[in-house]
A and B are shown apart, each in its own frame.
Chain A
Amino acid sequence: MSFDIDVTLRRGAHTIAARFGADGGITALFGPSGAGKTSVLDMVAGLVRPASGRIVVGGEVLFDSAAAIDLAPERRGCGYVFQDLRLFPHRRVRDNLLFGWRLAPPTRRWMTLDEAVGFLGIGHLLDRMPANLSGGEAQRVAIGRALLCGPRFLLMDEPLSSLDLPRRAEIVTVIERIRDELKLPILYVSHDSGEVERLAAAVVRLAG
């Protein structure tokens, strides 16, 4: 499984350009805020259309401006853990977790609710509403929801930034286990060099 990404995006006066390839493991997108790290994830997820370029993940072309290919977000097979989590406020944790799982074709699912709940230790949260979760709990649910939609790869946007130190250590462990036990490739956005050094196999630097 590999990422092969070469995109440009115009944002107002300046242009965001990112070009990198990566194999498996965690690939960190590293750079100051405003460098366009989240925009790169949004382009890979299909939420933002690049001005030009090509996005290939695991041999599947998700976007190619020259060939007029632009897969809809729901067909890209990515699990996106947003920086602002975006749990659905009107659905219980259980229904948040199962939202993508129910939509995925059975052959694409590789994890059950029970497995995800055990993996993340969130069994006691299933009947709660998202508004009643702590930061660390909500972060686990967001990760679980992304894992359960049957993704081929994960996009994680600053998954530690809103957590206090003890919570951080817990989530880092979860991310390492996703990398090592589930062997899921991850595109990982961060502005913290320590975090990047600990987790990532490859680092892509985006200039501000």
Chain B
Amino acid sequence: MFAPLTPAEWAIVLLSLKVSGVAIVLTMPVAFALAWVLARWSFPGKVLVDALVHLPLVVPPVVTGWLLLLAFGTNGPAGRFLAETLGLTFMFRWTGAALASAVMALPLMVRAIRLSLETVDRRLEAAARTLGAGPWRTFFAITLPLAMPGVLAGAVLGFARSIGEFGATITFVSNIPGETQTLPLAIYSALQLPGGDAMVARLAGISVLLSLAALVASELLMRRSGDGRNTHVL
């Protein structure tokens, strides 16, 4: 079962890494902004925003995939808008797989970043202001570096979640080899093939390795954030 991967299997791994990598990089600014709003602002309806962000965590992934289909499908309002303005389409394409895993990863990322922002001592920001730093410089010199372990941990956790994404992806963009067939979808397909057991074992092994690496990385990053302040993410 530890035989080297075939070229087709490598392609599946690389597609998964591409889908998840793009998803996490593009989601990061959104996740950070949401985490900032939830950590620092108070406004009417904040509970609602919080609940909406967390929805993909609690709703069945199939339902998330179906909602994506309604919104970003060929006839969905967001899908039509993006197709007309940016020429960006999602249906049956890897971009759709990236969108699905981004939405599924978002709550985890927001939670980790929000936690780390809440542990940043605002008195240090006030001190930076008295020393001559404006709000933006204070953010980049004090707030962001102190929150960085949580930001990185959020990225790693989101990446791990995204690598494992199945339900929303297969509902939204189907299971197309070479385009939307990421690791979990490929394992699912291989399971249905006669004689696909060896492939299943190899792809499953890769999945476990990737997830373990992400988990260890996130644990180390959280521990490095010092003083045992953020010892867990969830």
Which 10 interchain pairs have the tightest Cβ spacing?
A: A100-B131, A103-B132, A73-B129, A86-B127, A80-B130, A149-B131, A74-B132, A47-B126, A73-B130, A100-B132
B133 to chain A, nearest CB (A): 6
1/0 per position for B143-186, CB-CB distance to A under 8 A?
00110000000000000000000000000000000000000000
Partner of B134, one of A74, A80, A104: A74
How many residues belonging to B are interface residues under a CB distance threshold of 8 Å?
A: 18
Partner of B129, one of A47, A89, A90, A150: A47
| Interface presence of A145 (CB below 8 A) | yes
Residues on the A chain within 8 Å of B134, using CB = 72, 74
Residues of chain B whose beta carbon lies under 8 Å from any beta carbon of chain A: 121, 123-124, 126-134, 137, 141-142, 145-146, 226
Residues on the B chain within 8 Å of A103, using CB = 131-133, 137
Question: How far, in angstroms, from A187 to B90 measured CA to CA in the complex?
Answer: 63
Residues on the B chain within 8 Å of A76, using CB = 130
The residue among B127, B128, B134 with the most chain A CB atoms within 10 A of its own CB is: B127
B123 pairs with A86, CB closer than 8 A: yes
Residues on the A chain within 8 Å of B137, using CB = 103
Question: How far, in angstroms, from A74 to B138 measured CA to CA in the complex?
Answer: 10
14 new A-B contacts, CB < 8 A, other than A80-B130, A89-B226, A103-B133, are A45-B130, A46-B130, A47-B126, A73-B126, A78-B130, A82-B127, A88-B124, A89-B124, A90-B146, A100-B132, A103-B132, A103-B137, A146-B131, A149-B131
A84 pairs with B123, CB closer than 8 A: yes
Residues on the A chain within 8 Å of B129, using CB = 46-47, 72-74
Residues on the B chain within 8 Å of A47, using CB = 126, 129-130
A74 pairs with B123, CB closer than 8 A: no
Residues on the B chain within 8 Å of A46, using CB = 129-130
> Which A140-164 residues sit within 8 Å CB-CB of chain B?
145-146, 149-150
1/0 per position for A125-146, CB-CB distance to B under 8 A?
0000000000000000000011
B142 pairs with A88, CB closer than 8 A: yes
Question: How far, in angstroms, from A89 to B120 measured CA to CA in the complex?
Answer: 11
Question: How far, in angstroms, from A74 to B130 measured CA to CA in the complex?
Answer: 5
1/0 per position for A64-103, CB-CB distance to B under 8 A?
0000000011101011101010101110000000011001
A1 to chain B, nearest CB (A): 18
Residues on the A chain within 8 Å of B146, using CB = 89-90
B124 pairs with A86, CB closer than 8 A: yes
Residues on the B chain within 8 Å of A78, using CB = 130
B117 to chain A, nearest CB (A): 15
Chain B residue nearest to A103 in the complex (CB): B132
B207 to chain A, nearest CB (A): 36
Residues on the A chain within 8 Å of B124, using CB = 86, 88-89
Question: How far, in angstroms, from A39 to B146 measured CA to CA in the complex?
Answer: 26
Residues on the B chain within 8 Å of A150, using CB = 132
Chain B residue nearest to A102 in the complex (CB): B132
Question: How far, in angstroms, from A149 to B130 measured CA to CA in the complex?
Answer: 9
Residues on the B chain within 8 Å of A88, using CB = 124, 127-128, 142
Question: How far, in angstroms, from A80 to B126 measured CA to CA in the complex?
Answer: 10
Q: Give 17 A-B contacts (CB < 8 Å), ordered by A residue.
A: A45-B130, A47-B126, A47-B130, A73-B126, A74-B129, A78-B130, A82-B127, A84-B123, A86-B126, A88-B127, A88-B142, A99-B133, A100-B131, A100-B132, A103-B133, A145-B131, A149-B131
